[in-house]
């Protein structure tokens, strides 16, 4: 009897410890800070994420999860050699901890660096997801940016390797300006659809107007936390022809030769 009670106590202790290290989702927020984005656009982007984590709707989504907590980190990226952790892995399990995460974003200046390496951001996100210190049910990398991959290895290769590890990649293509430079892409949402997002339940939400920023970011984070099916969000671009996933590299090559 004593042996059985001791075994039960040990099992309960182990189960409790395991439960404390489990989260509904480990979420990497990977945010483009390349110079193709105007400073005011970068500020809108940062404010959008801050507002999302202050939002009661996001708090509800976290609370209503299977475990009621997530772990999240915020990363800025640009060229292949630039990925910076702005807010490290943080457990968010209450409105107070969500607001504290938002405040951490507000305490750090925004970087501005050359080039766009979505593949570098994905690879960096994969490394971060291997070092959460917890056991997530789902692992997600959330990529936001305003241009195609033009630096580092191919984005499809990076995407496919991440997906093979069970990671989902979602996208927030930022399409506020009419394409005017070599790094701009008219149908960036198509590029994200074909070349960037992937994995179970992957989706994207294009941002075409400044006033959409906060709502789009909040909606995306809620869906990522709650794992809500998001098929309607990409139906509008499903029927279009696939794009060239090396278009960004091709343009950069031509630019460097001029």
Residue 15 lies in a domain: no
Residue 11 lies in a domain: no
Residue 38 lies in a domain: yes
Cα(246)–Cα(221) distance, rounded to whole angstroms? 28
Residue 138 lies in a domain: yes
Residue 3 lies in a domain: no
Whether 79 has a pLDDT exceeding 80, the answer reads: yes
pLDDT of residue 17: 44
Q: Are 170 and 203 in contact (CB under 8 A)?
A: yes
CATH of residue 79's domain is 3.40.50.410
Of 253, 252, 112, the residue nearest 183 (C-alpha): 252
Q: Residue 153 half-sphere exposure, CB side, CA atoms within 13 Å?
A: 12
Residue 10 lies in a domain: no
For the chain, how many structural domains are there in total?
1
Say which residue, 240 or 213, is predicted with more confidence: 213
Range with the poorest average pLDDT among 23-37, 68-82, 220-234: 220-234
Cα(230)–Cα(12) distance, rounded to whole angstroms? 38
Of 78, 171, 93, 156, the residue nearest 124 (C-alpha): 78
CA angle 188, 30, 67 (to 5 degrees): 120
What is the mean pLDDT of the segment spanning 127-134? 98
Cα(160)–Cα(20) distance, rounded to whole angstroms? 31
Q: What is the pLDDT of residues 11-53, one digit of tens each?
A: 444 444 445 789 999 999 999 998 888 888 889 899 999 999 9
Cβ contacts of residue 105 below 8 Å, gap of 6+?
46, 49, 50, 53, 74, 86, 87
Q: 5 forms bridges with which residues in the sheet? A: none
Supply the range of the domain harboring residue 111: 23-257
């Amino acid at each position: 009897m004593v042996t059985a009670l001791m075994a039960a106590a040990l099992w309960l202790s182990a189960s409790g410890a395991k439960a404390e290290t489990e989260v509904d989702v480990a979420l990497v927020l990977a945010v483009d800070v390349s110079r193709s984005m105007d400073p005011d656009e970068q500020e809108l982007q940062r404010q959008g994420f801050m507002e999302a984590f202050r939002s009661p709707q996001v708090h509800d989504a976290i609370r209503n999860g299977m475990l009621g907590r997530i772990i999240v980190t915020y990363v800025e990226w640009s060229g292949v050699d630039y990925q910076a952790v702005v807010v490290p892995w943080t457990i968010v399990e209450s409105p107070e901890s969500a607001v504290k995460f938002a405040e951490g974003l507000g305490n750090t200046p925004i970087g501005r660096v050359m080039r766009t390496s979505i593949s570098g951001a994905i690879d960096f996100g994969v490394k971060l997801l291997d070092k959460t210190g917890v056991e997530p049910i789902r692992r997600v990398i959330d990529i936001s940016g305003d241009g195609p991959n033009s630096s580092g290895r191919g984005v499809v290769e990076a995407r496919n390797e991440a997906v093979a590890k069970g990671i989902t990649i979602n996208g927030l293509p930022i399409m506020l300006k009419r394409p005017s430079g070599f790094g701009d892409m008219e149908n960036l949402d198509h590029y994200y659809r074909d070349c960037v997002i992937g994995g179970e339940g992957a989706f994207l939400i294009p941002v075409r107007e400044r006033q959409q920023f906060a709502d789009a970011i909040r909606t995306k984070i809620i869906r990522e936390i709650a794992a809500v099916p998001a098929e309607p969000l990409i139906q509008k671009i499903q029927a279009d022809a696939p794009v060239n996933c090396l278009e960004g590299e091709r343009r950069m090559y031509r630019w460097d030769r001029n």
